[in-house]
Structure 1
Amino acid sequence: MGNWGSHLYEQPPQKLGEFVQNNLRPSEDSQKQIDQTVDTICEVLQDAEQFPLVTSVAKGGSYGRKTVLRGNSDGSLVIFIGDLEKFQDQKKNQYELLSKIWAQLKLCQLMRNLEAKVEVQNFRGELTIQLSTKQQSLTLKILPAFDALGLSEKPGLWTYRELKRYLDKVKASPGEFSVCFTELQERFFDNRPSKLKDLILLVKYWYQQFKEKDSFRLPVYALELLTVYAWEQGCGAEDFDIAQGLRTVLGLIRKPEQLCVYWTINYNFADETVRRILLGQLRSPRPVILDPTDPTNNVSQGDNCWQLLKEEARVWLSFLNESPGPSWNVLPAPLYSTPSHDLDKFIKDFLQPDKTFLDQIKKAVDAICEFLKENCFRHSATKIQKIVEGGSTAKGTALKNSDAYLVVFTDSLKSYTSPKNKTCTIIKEIHKQLEACQQAQDFEVTFEISKWKAPEVLRFSLKSKVLSESVDFDVLPAFNALGELKSGSAPSPKIYAELISLYESSGALGGEFSTCFTKLQCNFVRSQPSKLKDLICLVKHWYKWCERKLKHKGSLPPKYALELLTIYAWEKGSGAPNFDMAEGFQTVLKLVTEYQHLCIFWKVNYNFDHDETVRNFLLAQMQRTRPVILDPADPTGDVGGGNRWCWHLLAKEATEWMSSLCFQDGRGYPIPSWAVPASVF
């Protein structure tokens, strides 16, 4: 790999951040000289006397995005011309405008005695300004352009409609007018943390050698955007491990056949014209990396160089993994752009945890539970009766990096409302024994106990030693309300009658004691067909996407509500162990849009027939504000919640998703959903 490769190969992963600072960032003095010179040139170009047609100047390319590498780099100065009134004007008048600008720049006295050396060149109709200092050189292309934004901060809907119309009219190449959106590109990168820019520099430096060696013609902008996407989806923090970031980007480069990256910050699916552009792009052969400022511009098209890059990324990942370390969990394509026939593969490839890791988790949990039973309260009258695992790993619906909990039933908790000081004592003892277990046992996974010191909270994590996967566990002491319930048996109606009486008399919250019924909750989901649990994983992934998008807009219903809604959709709409995943997924989202009519419950553990208290309570629950979705293990737990949660936010997202590729067949026709009533009552 030559001197360059050897130089970078020598850097340990933990030293990559330092390497960027010392070798890839331009020196402060050079950057300052370049910036002052560019600012002066911009002032000259905006001088109304010398350039009366110029309305403004935008800084573009690597320079505008502040991702300039030390040594030789490039950028652009986009000059917005007042006389250009439409996109196509930019194309037909460009040569004449460049000639005028070149003539004026050569005459301008202000271009002399600048901080950096300046040379203006006009070669074959391409006007450039070469800037150089002792340590840095920068080539700026001069690009006249139509001002598509005008005085607006963001483009209006008409902007992209006009863009599409003129592209078709003059038969221009997609992305040919993306220069008109340079200011938006600059803003897209402006608010990114400094360390993300360092990661971009590292990725560009990695690419630079292969570009020279194999004459790649992939726009470096594609790799910059891919790096931003990796950071947004996998990290989002200002401070992060730069080696993890590099592993993630290289991992995505290894999946060009699956890459589909886009943003909806400047345009989205709401407008029909833009929607057609976007869906056309998402259906096109991968890789797809759309310019966040121009939906017509797929910047990933690059002379089939992705296969070569893929191999180089494989080599570099093997180097980085010599010192094993995780990468971020980032999908190469969002669910929205996944074709309906690929949903089963999407779930298996991207959502579900590694089977070996799940086996390791099971062994570790079994060992921890056995250790706690044997060692907790050895010198006390208190005894652990049983420990039940709850959450998605126990139900068989875990996503990568999910959470779970261990419910510890002790004989000292004799009722639902046992004193909190007893709970704190139990937590303290379990914490002590978990630390002892950590020292005594040798696990196949990394076992970490949370340092959080809240007296009623105990958490630990089990992490893979080789994969970027983990499960976080909460430890929850609880009253053993079910006693020694035989497998497959329903609880005595008396248990639910007592729970309901307590709920109605004490002002307890609905579902407050559902932890006591964890075993029933897990049995209900775990007993479902394998493919239905896959559908639950898909719906949970969609829900997590909504959570991230709708953060701070309102409180969403619990995930468990969506799990139960998915089971109900399958029971009423299919009931077959093998079904079409897209049909099932669409049915669940359709039910979400009908949330104001949902009334769902099951009779597997309680019903109307065996106890008057339970019967009357269930009838009252059915009269509550919709949606009503009763926990099949706990009739007081209405996870639908009526007006308690912002179902309308989920419903809005579900409606927008109906136009996604997930719900279209290979010819673009809609996939049907199952006929499922919104209510069983």
Structure 2
Amino acid sequence: MVHCKDACNLSSEHLYWDEPQKREDKFVASGKSVSCRMCGRSFGTIHSREQHERQEHHFTASQRARMSTAFSPDTILDQRSPQLLQKFMETNLRPQMGLLRVACAEEVENLIDLIQKCCPISVTRLIKGGSYFKGTDTRSWSDIDVVIFSSSFLSIDDCKEKISSMLCGLENNLKISVMTNRILIERKASLSLRFQFKCFKDLHIHHFDVMLCYDLLGPIASQDAKRNLYRQLYNCGDDVKIQLYSISLLKYQVDFVKASTLGVKDLIRLVKHWFKTSVAKPTEANRFRRLPSSYAMELITIYVWQLAGKPIFFSLVQGLRAVLKFLVNCRDIFIIWCDHYDKNLSIVKEVLQKQTRPFILDPVNPTFNVCENSNAWDEVTHVARQSLLKPLLSGVQAKAPWLFTNNW
């Protein structure tokens, strides 16, 4: 959430309203790791893509350093004690609780009820996601995903054919609703209605993605139903249908992150803030650069915490240091969870054979390497390495239960 009085003493109109932000697409097709970040040309392998960047665009190590790093003047990395970092978390990153949070929750639920009423097709069931419902939102950013499943769609193919007109109908209905003055429609997304919502007394803003889909799995999915969905995903060559299939798994992605402890969610907020205030924005020269998604950063943070033995209480400095050291070795990243699928499943084995590093297999979708959507992991590595030299982390020694980071 963007709290204008607490965050920067500016009116909400000057924070995000009328300035739609570039937001990552949901369930984008994989393969972007092999596209040039300067011209967008695609290659068969990451190695050939990098060779092209060096030869055709003179993308040297020094140029990468200049284009990847942009520490903000008030970076948290200049803090000099764990106590100051903890205070920064509590006063600047963690959303305010109490009556404001309660009022916010009521406003969000009222809008979601309105979305259902404005939906031009019948609503079979609805699931909610995004950082707000995962509990990883910050004071400067809150995104909410709403997926509406409808029996009006007869199949995935029927959904693909009708979804554009249905989203237009929903948009038109919202524009004439009682909340129209509090909604700003953003640029069109391929499979969602994307808008900003002025929440409680216009003090903060939520970024909504509303998606419509055919209900493949139902409210309680059997293992057979999931395995059938995985097969359809793996064999599908249609990017739109891949995204529609994947939407059915959103609930399980949300539950995976949501199950983390409060400490882990604070660490996720810290990692996101580090990313936002340390990695440079793309320019015209590298406009085809694609940074890792926030979901990828969430999964990495959770994995590193799990390596530490899932401590309930821990130092944010030690946790951040561990995540950054992990990112320094991006090319060695290999992460797989087996909560929703068996690693011996034939599809999983086939995906593992095709793996490229870094590799993070989505914990609920064994056909999707979450890292594949980025072609700038080398830049993330550089920024992480430079961040470890900053006052907050320079000279910090690993303490239990983070001693395993000494091997990185």
TM-score, scaled to structure 1: 0.45
Counterpart residue number, 2:109: 366
Counterpart residue number, 1:392: 131
- Within the alignment, does 1:346 sit opposite 2:76 as a pair? no
Quick check: 545-554 or 333-342, which moved more? Answer: 545-554
| 1:577, distance to aligned residue in structure 2 (A) | 1.0
| 1:439, distance to aligned residue in structure 2 (A) | 4.9
| Partner residue of 2:171 out of 417, 425, 431 | 431
Q: Which secondary structure state, in structure 1, belongs to the residue aligned with residue 343 of structure 2?
A: coil
Judged with a 3 Å threshold, the aligned counterparts in structure 2 of structure 1 residues 412 and 605 are, in CA distance, closer, same or farther, namely: same
Q: Distance in 2 between matches of 1:583 and 1:511?
A: 38
How do residues 330-479 of structure 1 correspond to structure 2 at under 5 angstroms? Answer: 333-341=74-82, 342-355=84-97, 356-374=99-117, 376-377=119-120, 382-399=121-138, 400-439=140-179, 447-450=182-185, 452=187, 457-464=192-199, 469-479=204-214
How do residues 261-300 of structure 1 correspond to structure 2 at under 5 angstroms? Answer: none
How do residues 625-644 of structure 1 correspond to structure 2 at under 5 angstroms? Answer: 625-641=356-372, 644=374
Judged with a 3 Å threshold, the aligned counterparts in structure 2 of structure 1 residues 641 and 332 are, in CA distance, closer, same or farther, namely: closer
- Within the alignment, does 1:675 sit opposite 2:389 as a pair? no
Quick check: 418-427 or 383-392, which moved more? Answer: 418-427
Deviation sequence 1:292-336 (CA, Å, 0-9, x none): xxxxxxxxxxxxxxxxxxxxxxxxxxxxxxxxxxxxxxx983211
Letter in 2 for 1:494: D
Which structure is richer in relative contact order (CA contacts within 8 A, separation 6 or more)?
A: 2
Deviation sequence 1:104-163 (CA, Å, 0-9, x none): xxxxxxxxxxxxxxxxxxxxxxxxxxxxxxxxxxxxxxxxxxxxxxxxxxxxxxxxxxxx
- Within the alignment, does 1:577 sit opposite 2:307 as a pair? no
Deviation sequence 1:264-318 (CA, Å, 0-9, x none): xxxxxx9xxxxxxxxxxxxxxxxxxxxxxxxxxxxxxxxxxxxxxxxxxxxxxxx
How do residues 449-598 of structure 1 correspond to structure 2 at under 5 angstroms? Answer: 449-450=184-185, 452=187, 457-464=192-199, 469-485=204-220, 491-508=221-238, 512=243, 513-549=245-281, 553=286, 554-598=289-333
Judged with a 3 Å threshold, the aligned counterparts in structure 2 of structure 1 residues 236 and 367 are, in CA distance, closer, same or farther, namely: closer
Tell me, yes or no, if the aligned pair for 1:401 and 1:469 is still in contact at 8 Å. no
Q: Distance in 2 between matches of 1:453 and 1:639?
A: 24
Tell me, yes or no, if the aligned pair for 2:264 and 2:305 is still in contact at 8 Å. yes
Counterpart residue number, 2:55: none
Higher share of residues assigned strand: 1
Q: Distance in 2 between matches of 1:466 and 1:367?
A: 14
Quick check: 360-369 or 544-553, which moved more? Answer: 544-553
| 1:482, distance to aligned residue in structure 2 (A) | 2.4
Judged with a 3 Å threshold, the aligned counterparts in structure 2 of structure 1 residues 592 and 469 are, in CA distance, closer, same or farther, namely: same
| 1:402, distance to aligned residue in structure 2 (A) | 2.9
How do residues 123-134 of structure 1 correspond to structure 2 at under 5 angstroms? Answer: none
Q: Distance in 2 between matches of 1:366 and 1:230?
A: 27
| 1:428, distance to aligned residue in structure 2 (A) | 2.5
Q: Which secondary structure state, in structure 2, belongs to the residue aligned with residue 636 of structure 1?
A: coil
Tell me, yes or no, if the aligned pair for 1:464 and 1:470 is still in contact at 8 Å. yes
| 1:549, distance to aligned residue in structure 2 (A) | 4.5
Q: Distance in 2 between matches of 1:616 and 1:497?
A: 10
Deviation sequence 1:533-584 (CA, Å, 0-9, x none): 0000001111212444555643211111110000000011131111111111
Judged with a 3 Å threshold, the aligned counterparts in structure 2 of structure 1 residues 647 and 506 are, in CA distance, closer, same or farther, namely: same
Q: Which secondary structure state, in structure 1, belongs to the residue aligned with residue 153 of structure 2?
A: coil
Q: Please, which runs of 5 or more residues in structure 1 have no aligned partner?
A: 1-228, 241-269, 271-330, 441-445, 486-490, 610-614
Judged with a 3 Å threshold, the aligned counterparts in structure 2 of structure 1 residues 605 and 561 are, in CA distance, closer, same or farther, namely: same
Counterpart residue number, 1:648: 378
Judged with a 3 Å threshold, the aligned counterparts in structure 2 of structure 1 residues 578 and 477 are, in CA distance, closer, same or farther, namely: same
TM-score, scaled to structure 2: 0.72
Q: Distance in 2 between matches of 1:676 and 1:606?
A: 29
Tell me, yes or no, if the aligned pair for 1:599 and 1:622 is still in contact at 8 Å. no
| 1:437, distance to aligned residue in structure 2 (A) | 3.7
Q: Distance in 1 between matches of 2:91 and 2:254?
A: 25
Tell me, yes or no, if the aligned pair for 1:385 and 1:410 is still in contact at 8 Å. yes
Q: Distance in 2 between matches of 1:677 and 1:633?
A: 31
Q: Which secondary structure state, in structure 2, belongs to the residue aligned with residue 354 of structure 1?
A: coil
| 1:593, distance to aligned residue in structure 2 (A) | 1.2
Q: Distance in 2 between matches of 1:465 and 1:477?
A: 26
| 1:508, distance to aligned residue in structure 2 (A) | 4.1
Q: Distance in 2 between matches of 1:677 and 1:518?
A: 35
Deviation sequence 1:399-447 (CA, Å, 0-9, x none): 223322211111123444444331123213322332344359xxxxx72
Judged with a 3 Å threshold, the aligned counterparts in structure 2 of structure 1 residues 634 and 504 are, in CA distance, closer, same or farther, namely: closer
Q: Please, which runs of 5 or more residues in structure 2 have no aligned partner?
A: 1-7, 20-61, 63-71
Tell me, yes or no, if the aligned pair for 1:395 and 1:522 is still in contact at 8 Å. yes
| 1:456, distance to aligned residue in structure 2 (A) | 5.2
Counterpart residue number, 1:320: none
| 1:585, distance to aligned residue in structure 2 (A) | 0.8
User: RMSD value over aligned CA atoms?
Assistant: 3.5
Counterpart residue number, 1:658: 388
Q: Distance in 2 between matches of 1:605 and 1:634?
A: 8
Q: Distance in 1 between matches of 2:296 and 2:407?
A: 14
Judged with a 3 Å threshold, the aligned counterparts in structure 2 of structure 1 residues 678 and 460 are, in CA distance, closer, same or farther, namely: farther
Judged with a 3 Å threshold, the aligned counterparts in structure 2 of structure 1 residues 498 and 669 are, in CA distance, closer, same or farther, namely: closer
Quick check: 546-555 or 476-485, which moved more? Answer: 546-555
Tell me, yes or no, if the aligned pair for 1:481 and 1:517 is still in contact at 8 Å. no
Tell me, yes or no, if the aligned pair for 2:107 and 2:200 is still in contact at 8 Å. no
| 1:674, distance to aligned residue in structure 2 (A) | 4.3
Q: Distance in 2 between matches of 1:386 and 1:416?
A: 16
